[in-house]
Each structure stands twice: as C-alpha cells, then as structure tokens.
C-alpha cells in the first residue's frame, strides 16, 4: 500500500480482519456521516479504504482514533490541536501514552463534577429547607487552578498572568464580592429564562452588561471575542455545567444574550 492513495477494495480485504462502513461507525459512535466525512477531508480521520459503491471503510485502529478525537472534543480541545495529538500516536507506545493522559484527565473531570454536584445538591437542600448556606460553601468545587496549564495554552501566558494579577488585587473581600455578583447574575438570568423573556429584553441585557463588566475586570473583550466567549460557554461542558446549574438551558440562553449585547454595544 502506498502512502499517497487510498487502498483498493482488494487491498482492504487483504489487510483487514474486520472493517466498518461509514454508516456502521456513525451508528456505533453517534457521530454523523457528514462529520466523519469532514474529519476525512481535514486529514483527522482517514478511512482505510472503500467498499463497493464507494462507501468509506474503517478498521479497528480508526475506531480507536475516533474515540480519542471524541474524548478530546468532550474536553474542549479544538480540531487543529486534536490533529496534532492523534497524529503523534502513530506508534503504539505513543498512542498508549496519549490514551493514559486522556484517562487521567477524564478521571480528574469526573472528580470535579462529583464535587460540583455535591455543591449544587447542598444548595438545593438549603433552598428547599429555607436555610441560609454559608457563602464560602456556594463555591466548593470551583477550584480552577488545575486548569492553569490549559488556560495558558488556550489564551497565552501574558493574558493568564494579567487575569491572575487582577484577581489577586481584588483581595479576599473583593473576590467574595465578585463571586456574589456572579451568583446574582446567574440567578437573575435564570429568573429571566423562567419568565420566558427574550434575550434582547432590557432586563436580560442589563444582566449581560453586568456580566461583561465582570469579565472586563480581567480582560476587555470586543464584539468578536465576547461573542466567542459566549459560544465557549456552550461548547465547553465545564462552563455549560456551571451555568446550567442555575437553570437547565441557561448556557445557550446566555450565549445568545451575549451575542445581542456584543452586536449592540461593542465594536
């Protein structure tokens, strides 16, 4: 088999003990055939060959690679970065090392979600029982230090350092006020969502203005970057979980409200 062309049907039969069509892979993984074809077009997941009629065929190695891709997508990694990761796993030892890293990160995510779930459960119990929950306990499980490396890779060292310095300058009282404001904004937006208000409603937009002001303490986003931030709240399951803890569906509601605010108020 040469590296510059896909193998023929005869070659595929000769080298594969088992193969899956693109339809099979779509049913197994839940990924659409259109997405699989896109992954092929960008060189992220190339089929091992074609079946009669031109249908793409995938072997077991390709199924494992697709699993890696999906895991990284769940962790919020962009497609170009995923390409660099999966292509480094062409030899078995490197592939195993990458899979172990994924596994460790998933375990860390599971533990973090367990802590967040416990925090939300405590809040529910507090609200249902009419008790006042200690302010510091509202934020148990929101330790973001473990994501510092990821943040530096995504936004750059200078931006992360600038944000960390701004956070430190707030001091303990300022940090508590900032967290209280974030909670108030989340609860206010949840109430707007429950009331059926459109994302362009003045009440919603007033809360989004407060959200933008909070973000601007650390980094002043323009129209494009603020809109992108809203999209990240939906794309990254960690942010989605944070906002949807206030009310299911709040993350996309906030994203759309941020887009309206950005179009009207930012340049």
Query: Confidence band (pLDDT; 50, 70, 90) for 126?
Result: low
Write down the mean pLDDT value for the chain: 78
Identify the architecture of domain 9-87 in CATH: Orthogonal Bundle (1.10)
pLDDT at 57 > cutoff 90? yes
9-to-49, 51, 64 alpha-carbon distances in Å:
7, 6, 22
pLDDT at 43 > cutoff 80? yes
Given a contact cutoff of 8 angstroms between Cβ atoms, the answer to whether 31 and 25 are in contact is yes
Tokens at residue 93, please? Answer: 């030892």
Q: What is the per-residue pLDDT across 72-88, written as a single tens digit (0 to 9) for each? A: 787 767 788 778 777 76
What is the distance between the alpha carbons of residues 162 and 172, in angstroms, rounded to a whole number? 18
What is the distance between the alpha carbons of residues 240 and 249, in angstroms, rounded to a whole number? 9
pTM: 0.46
Query: Confidence band (pLDDT; 50, 70, 90) for 4?
Result: very low
Residue 74's φ and ψ, nearest 5 degrees, are: -60, -30
Q: What is the mean pLDDT of residues 167-184?
A: 84
Q: Check residue 37 and give its pLDDT.
A: 92
**Choice between 99 and 232, residue whose per-residue pLDDT is larger:** 232
**Choice between 83 and 234, residue whose per-residue pLDDT is larger:** 234
Residue 134's φ and ψ, nearest 5 degrees, are: -55, 135
Q: Specify the residue for token string 């350092």.
A: 161
- Beta-bridged to residue 49, according to DSSP, are 57
Q: Check residue 9 and give its pLDDT.
A: 43
Domain boundaries, the chain: 9-87, 90-143, 144-265
Q: Please state, as a whole number, how many other Cβ atoms lie within 10 Å of the Cβ of residue 216.
A: 12
CATH topology assigned to domain 144-265: Globin-like (1.10.490)
What is the distance between the alpha carbons of residues 58 and 50, in angstroms, rounded to a whole number? 9
pLDDT at 7 > cutoff 60? no
pLDDT at 47 > cutoff 90? yes
Query: Confidence band (pLDDT; 50, 70, 90) for 194?
Result: very high
Q: Check residue 5 and give its pLDDT.
A: 37
Tokens at residue 107, please? Answer: 């375990």
* Phi-psi domain of 156 (left: phi exceeds 0; alpha: psi -120 through 50; beta: other): left
Q: What is the mean pLDDT of residues 7-31?
A: 70
Q: What is the mean pLDDT of residues 8-35?
A: 74
Q: Check for a shared fold between 9-87 and 144-265.
A: no
Query: Confidence band (pLDDT; 50, 70, 90) for 3?
Result: very low
Q: What DSSP designation does 17 have?
A: S
Buried b (16+ CB within 10 A) or exposed e, 196-206: ebebeeeebbe
DSSP code per residue over 21-56: EHHHHHHHH---HHHHHHHHHTTSS--SEE-TTS-E
Q: Please state, as a whole number, how many other Cβ atoms lie within 10 Å of the Cβ of residue 213.
A: 11
């Amino acid at each position: 088999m040469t590296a510059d062309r896909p193998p023929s049907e005869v070659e595929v039969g000769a080298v594969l003990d088992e193969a899956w069509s693109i339809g099979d892979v779509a049913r197994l993984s839940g990924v659409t055939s259109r997405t699989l074809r896109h992954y092929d077009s960008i060189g992220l997941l190339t089929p091992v060959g074609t079946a009669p009629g031109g249908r793409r065929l995938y072997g077991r190695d390709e199924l494992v690679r697709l699993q890696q891709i999906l895991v990284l997508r769940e962790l919020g990694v962009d497609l170009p970065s995923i390409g660099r990761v999966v292509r480094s796993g062409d030899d078995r030892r490197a592939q195993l090392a990458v899979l172990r890293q994924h596994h460790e990160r998933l375990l860390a995510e599971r533990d973090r979600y367990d802590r967040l779930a416990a925090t939300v459960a405590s809040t529910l119990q507090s609200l249902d029982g009419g008790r006042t929950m200690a302010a510091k306990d509202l934020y148990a499980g929101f330790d973001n230090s473990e994501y510092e490396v990821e943040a530096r890779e995504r936004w750059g060292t200078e931006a992360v350092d600038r944000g960390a310095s701004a956070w430190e300058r707030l001091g303990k009282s300022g940090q508590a006020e900032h967290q209280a404001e974030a909670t108030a904004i989340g609860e206010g937006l949840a109430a707007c969502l429950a009331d059926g208000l459109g994302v362009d409603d003045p009440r919603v937009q007033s809360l989004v203005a407060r959200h933008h002001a909070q973000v601007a303490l650390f980094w002043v986003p323009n129209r494009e970057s603020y809109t992108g931030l809203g999209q990240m709240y939906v794309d990254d399951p960690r942010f989605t979980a944070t906002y949807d803890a206030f009310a299911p569906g709040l993350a996309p509601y906030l994203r759309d409200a941020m887009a309206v605010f950005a179009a009207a108020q930012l340049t």
